[in-house]
A and B are shown apart, each in its own frame.
Chain A
Amino acid sequence: MARKQKNVILLTIDTLRKDVIGCYGMGESYTPFLDSIQDKCVRFNNCQSVGPYTQASFPGILTSSYYFEFGREKQISSKRTVISEVVKNGGFTTAGFHSNPFLSAFFGWNRGWNTFYDSMMDQVTDHAPYILGDVINSKVDSWVNNHTSGEEYTPFFLWAHYMDVHEPYVPKQEYIARIDPELKITDDEMFQLFKDVVLPRDTSDASKNELLKKLYLAHVLEVDDYAKQFFDNLEKSGVLKDTIVIITSDHGDEFGDHGSLSHDGRMYDELINVPLMVYDADCKETQVSDTVVSGVDIPPTIAKTFGLDSPESYCGQPLLPIEDYSSKGSFGEAMGKLQHKIKPTDRPAYFYQEENFRISYRVEDEKWEMFDLQADPAEQENIIESSSSAEGMKAKLTEQMHVVAFD
C-alpha cells in the first residue's frame, strides 16, 4: 500500500535566538514545549540563516535563493520561485499566515498561496505592531479544520510565522513575572526603552541591555506557549499524526553580544546561527545533525516531502534523510547596516561558513573577519591574519558573493 502523503507545516518564529531553546544545551531553557517534543524531532545543531534580518533571510527560507541574487528588488523577483508555487502547482493546497510587513503581499510574498493572510489591513498597536501568536493560531486552526472537514482532503503545505519575539519588547506581565518576579515595569516604560535604547543602538548602560534581554526572554516563554497551543490544535483536529512540522527562525537578536542591539547587517552567531528542527509523529527517537546546513535547504526539503522536483533556481538540497546530506558550507549576505534603518551609504556584507570556521566581509570598510566557532564560540578573536585556512576561505566566500551595483 502506498504511504499516505503527509502535510507539511513550516512554523517560523521571527527573531528567535538558538541559545534560549533548552534542547540545544547552550544555557537555561525558555522553551519547555519545544524541548518536550524533541523525541519526535530531527534536530539540526548547525543551521545558518542566509541573512541576519527578515528581508535577507526569507529569500532562503521560502525561495531557496540569496538576498542579492537578482540585484536589489522592490518586490521579490519573478526569477525566484516561492516554495508555495512549487507545492501548489504540484496539485496540493497552500496557505500562509503571518504578520511581518517585509513578507506582505506588497513585496510579492503572496505568490503561490491558495490562502494568504498578512494582516496588513488589520488594526495593531504601537506596543505590538503585529498580530499576536494566539490570533495566528486561531486563523490557522479554523483554516485547518475547514480544509480537513470532509472525508478526504488534499494534503496541504501551511506556513505560519510568529512575530511576538520581535521588538519593541512589550511582553505580557505574566511572562515577565516568570522571568523575574521582582521586575516591575509598565507597558509605556518598556516602549520608551525601545525608543530610547534599542532604536539608537545605545549599549552604554549594561543594566538596560540586561533588562531588554529579560523582556525578550519573557516573549520567548510566550511564543513557546503559542507553539504548544499550535500543536494542541493540530492534535485536536486529528492532523498532527499526518503532518511534518519544520520549526525554524529567520535570524536571532543581539543584546550587546557584539556591542550592539537588535539585528543589523552583521554575521555573528547570535544573529546567523538559528534553530531548526523537523517534527514527525512517526519519528522513533531524537535524531541530531551536527553538519553545517542552511536556510536555502528548507524549500527543497518541502518539495521532496511532496514528491516534487525542486526548480533549477533552488540553491539548497533536501535536509532529509540526514545521512544523504553532504554539506557545501553555508553562505549568506545582507546590507551591512549598523543601525535600525538602511542608509544610502550602506554596502553589502557577506559570510561563508565551513565546519567550525566562519569568515565575513564588509564592503563598506573592506573589513574581513574570521572566527573559530569551536575554540571561540563568542567570536571575540579575529583569526583572519593568523589562520592557515583564511586564504582558502576568502576565495570560497568571494566566489559566492553577489555584487550589487550602486548609483
Chain B
Amino acid sequence: MPKIELSEERVAELKQKIEKSKEIFKMAYDRFEVKDQRMVWSAGKDSTLMLWICKQFCEENNLPMPICFTIDEFDVFEEIDAMLKIYAEKWDLRLDWGINIDVVEASGWELNADVTVSDLTKENQAEIDRIGFGELERFPFEAESFIGNHLMKSVVVNKYIQDHDVKAFYQGLRWDEQPTRSEDPYFEDVAADEYTPEQTRYRPILHFTERDLWDATHYFDIPYCSLYEQGYRSLGAKTTSLKLDDKKAWDQDLENTIERAGRRQDKEAAMERLRQLGYM
C-alpha cells in the first residue's frame, strides 16, 4: 500500500520520469562494461533514488548492479552510516568506502583540530596549493570547509577513479537542487587533465524535482534516511548540516525555499570569493 495518495496522472508522470532515468542507465550499459562503472551512493535522498531506479533497471534486464562508492568524510551522521550498511546487505551491493586518511591522521582523529600542512603527504600538499592556499601552514579539520571539501571529497573521488580505472560514473544530481546545476547534461565525457582521469559522468535523475523525489519515494516505498523526518532537507557532514525547519522534509515549502540553505559548502564558496576580493 503506498504511503501517499496521488492522482493517476501524477503516478503516470512519476513512472515516466523513472523510465527516463532507465534510458540513461541503458545508454551507460550499452557503452561500458559494468566492471568499469561506479555509482556514488551517500545514502542521501537523491543517490538512494538513483540506486533504487538502477536496481529496477538491472532486475528488468537481468543485468548485474554497478559497484557503489561512498565517501567517508569522517564527520558522518550515524543514521547515514547505518543506512549504508543495512541496504548494502539487503540489496546485496558491493560498497567501496573512500577516505582521505592522511588528513584524518594529521588532525589526530579530531574534528576542528589544527592540521599542519607539512604533516600531510606530498599529494595532499599539492592539492592545497592547487586550490590557492599554497602559503597556508595549518588549517582546521572540517569536512565542508573550502579546503576540507576539496581534500575529503574531490581528492578522494579522483583518486578512486584513477585507482580503479573507472570509466563511467553515476551522480545523483538534480536540476532543481540548486539553479547552478540547471544546465548539467545527462551525460558528459570528461577529458583527462592533471588531476582528473578521463571518464564519462552520467546523471540519471536530473529531471526529478525535490517534490517528484519525495512523491516517488513515498509512492514506490523507496527507503530514505530518518533524518529527513526530523526536518533536514539536504544532508552533508554531520556537524555542518542544519535543519532550518522541524517539519518533515516533504512537508516543508519545497517550491519557495532553498533546499541547500542548510549546507555549508555554498557559504564557504561565497566567502572564499569575498576573501579573494579583499572583503573578508
Residues of A within 8 A of B (CB): 75, 96, 101-102, 104-108, 110-111, 113-121, 123-126, 129-130, 143, 166-168, 194, 199, 340-341
On whether the beta carbons of A110 and B270 are closer than 8 Å, the reply is no
- 21 interchain pairs, CB-CB under 8 A: A75-B261, A96-B179, A102-B274, A104-B269, A104-B270, A105-B179, A106-B267, A110-B180, A111-B258, A115-B183, A117-B180, A117-B183, A120-B270, A120-B273, A121-B269, A126-B132, A130-B277, A166-B277, A168-B277, A340-B279, A341-B278
On whether the beta carbons of B183 and A143 are closer than 8 Å, the reply is yes
Partner of A121, one of B180, B182, B278, B280: B180
Nearest CB in chain B: distance from A106 CB, A: 4
On whether the beta carbons of B270 and A101 are closer than 8 Å, the reply is yes
- Given A105-B258, A110-B178, the answer on whether A120 and B266 have CB atoms closer than 8 Å is yes
Interface flag for B276 (CB, 8 Å): yes
Given contacts A106-B266, A111-B258, 8 further A-B contacts (CB under 8 A): A101-B271, A101-B277, A107-B270, A116-B182, A117-B179, A117-B183, A120-B266, A340-B278
Instruction: State the CA gap A123–B194 with chains docked (Å).
Output: 15
- Given A110-B179, A118-B180, the answer on whether A199 and B277 have CB atoms closer than 8 Å is no
Chain A contact residues: over half helix, strand or loop, or mixed?
loop
Which residues from 177 to 192 on chain B have a C-beta closer than 8 Å to any C-beta of chain A? Answer: 178-180, 182-183
Instruction: State the CA gap A96–B180 with chains docked (Å).
Output: 10
On whether the beta carbons of B276 and A124 are closer than 8 Å, the reply is yes
Partner of A113, one of B132, B179, B274: B179
Nearest CB in chain A: distance from B29 CB, A: 28
* Residues in B whose Cβ lies below 8 Å from that of A107: 270
* Residues in B whose Cβ lies below 8 Å from that of A96: 179
On whether the beta carbons of B269 and A130 are closer than 8 Å, the reply is no
* Residues in B whose Cβ lies below 8 Å from that of A143: 183
On whether the beta carbons of B182 and A115 are closer than 8 Å, the reply is yes
* Residues in B whose Cβ lies below 8 Å from that of A167: 277-278
Partner of B273, one of A101, A105, A117: A101
* Residues in B whose Cβ lies below 8 Å from that of A168: 277-278
* Residues in B whose Cβ lies below 8 Å from that of A101: 270-271, 273-274, 277
- Given A104-B270, A105-B258, the answer on whether A120 and B180 have CB atoms closer than 8 Å is yes
- Given A105-B180, A105-B258, A105-B266, the answer on whether A341 and B280 have CB atoms closer than 8 Å is yes
Instruction: State the CA gap A101–B269 with chains docked (Å).
Output: 8
Instruction: State the CA gap A143–B132 with chains docked (Å).
Output: 31
On whether the beta carbons of A110 and B258 are closer than 8 Å, the reply is yes
Instruction: State the CA gap A113–B182 with chains docked (Å).
Output: 10
* Residues in A whose Cβ lies below 8 Å from that of B178: 105, 110, 116
On whether the beta carbons of A116 and B279 are closer than 8 Å, the reply is no
Instruction: State the CA gap A113–B273 with chains docked (Å).
Output: 22
On whether the beta carbons of B180 and A116 are closer than 8 Å, the reply is yes
* Residues in A whose Cβ lies below 8 Å from that of B274: 101-102
- Given A124-B273, A129-B273, the answer on whether A115 and B179 have CB atoms closer than 8 Å is yes
Nearest CB in chain B: distance from A121 CB, A: 6
Query: Closest chain B residue to A96 by CB distance?
Result: B179
Instruction: State the CA gap A106–B268 with chains docked (Å).
Output: 9
Query: Closest chain B residue to A128 by CB distance?
Result: B276
Q: B246-264 interface mask toward A, CB cutoff 8 Å, 1 = contact, 0 = none?
A: 0000000000001011000
* Residues in A whose Cβ lies below 8 Å from that of B277: 101, 129-130, 166-168
On whether the beta carbons of B269 and A106 are closer than 8 Å, the reply is yes
